[in-house]
Structure 1
């Protein structure tokens, strides 16, 4: 016992102080993109040609980046000779509406809190059933990390549960393959009303690299009503945590 106590004192406090303190993320972290349209000359489309998933487009001569499709590969930024596009270290990405995931059409609107009734129900205690609908396990792994002592998701009253009948909503990852479509819909149906739906990762939002595949759906947007979108490939644990806390009105 004394050995355990000494080791605990040696290791100190490991739980992040977020959200009281902003997280320190590594230099190589790719967060919210920043577009500088004034640097983008007319006729230059090098970044568009390098984007493998059609996340970039030009609208009325100005760049638009759809974070619902973006895999944060940064090929576009590497291809741009004018530095009109770069990835910041800002982890805050989650939005309430699909159309708000577009960078370049105005102010980026982060997720707002639930409506008063839903916030009263779930604001202090939220139980989620995670559904991997054909994902590669990258998103799932980073969601699992939220349960470690560094993030300690339970201190915010948020927990992942084993049964949809014990859940307040579902958190979906993956593009929804044909083999998982009915399982996803059955899980959603088993969650008692009222309930929430959260799409985490590029696959769940827009299909990711599997977009338009005959064996996968383009995310869950046309299957279920989504209350929160968490973009990324995979979303950083702080991105997911930030989105969940914003949804509950805790930030």
Structure 2
């Protein structure tokens, strides 16, 4: 009982969390500038899991947490593909998910951008040779950007998005 009371009332010791990452902020604000130059507004992202191990989804969801807070850079996640500019697909496309991935892509308004996030979606993982797996997203959709890694870190995702926006700005 004494240990329980000590744990409750004893002063807690924790390290001070950093207020932000300067490199990430620099990339993010550069990305915001490029997004507004290309689209003239914020960018809506629809994330789609086509049969992954959830590691890429965790890193993608981390972008929305208070530490990274990508909404301040003009990026937001939307629930409907009808509102999305970019479709981010995670996981290797399984036989059962191929129709759902295609329908999600078809529901998006033009111009449609597709990003393969993680080794599974890029077609370079160990599950891509399985009998129930078609392979990477590029087997059924035109992929504009591949972000390899298992899982890719948030700074890699932002860097890749910045590169995509810069290439679209040159067109």
With the length of structure 2 as denominator, give the TM-score of the two structures: 0.76
Q: Deviations over 1:178-236 (max 9, x none)?
A: 11111111000000011100000000001511122110111111211111110100111
2:46 matched to which residue of 1?
129
Instruction: Please provide the CA RMSD for this pair.
Output: 2.7
Q: Structure 1 residues 156 and 21, CA, compared in 2 at 3 Å: closer, same or farther? A: closer
Give the counterpart of 1:174 among 88, 91, 101.
91
State the alpha-carbon separation in 2 of the partners of residues 238 and 20 from structure 1: 10
Q: 2:47 aligned with 1:16, yes or no?
A: no
Q: Deviations over 1:113-171 (max 9, x none)?
A: 9xx9xx622x6521110000000100000100001122111121111110000101200
CA contact (8 A) 1:175 1:220 kept: yes
1:120 matched to which residue of 2?
38
State the alpha-carbon separation in 1 of the partners of residues 115 and 137 from structure 2: 9
Q: Deviations over 1:29-48 (max 9, x none)?
A: xxxxxxxxxxxxxxxxxxxx
Kindly report which structure 2 residues correspond to 1:1-251, keeping only aligned pairs within 5 A, or say none.
14-19=19-24, 120-121=38-39, 124-249=41-166
CA contact (8 A) 1:174 1:207 kept: no
More helix as a share of residues: 2
State the alpha-carbon separation in 2 of the partners of residues 154 and 248 from structure 1: 16
Structure 1 stretches of at least 4 aligned residues deviating more than 6 Å after TM superposition: none
Q: Structure 1 residues 249 and 19, CA, compared in 2 at 3 Å: closer, same or farther? A: farther
1:28 matched to which residue of 2?
none
**Unaligned runs of at least 5 residues, structure 2:** 1-15
- 1:243 Cα deviation (Å)? 0.8
Q: Give the secondary-structure state (helix, strand or coil) at the position aligned to 2:129.
A: coil
State the alpha-carbon separation in 1 of the partners of residues 124 and 131 from structure 2: 11
**Unaligned runs of at least 5 residues, structure 1:** 1-10, 23-112
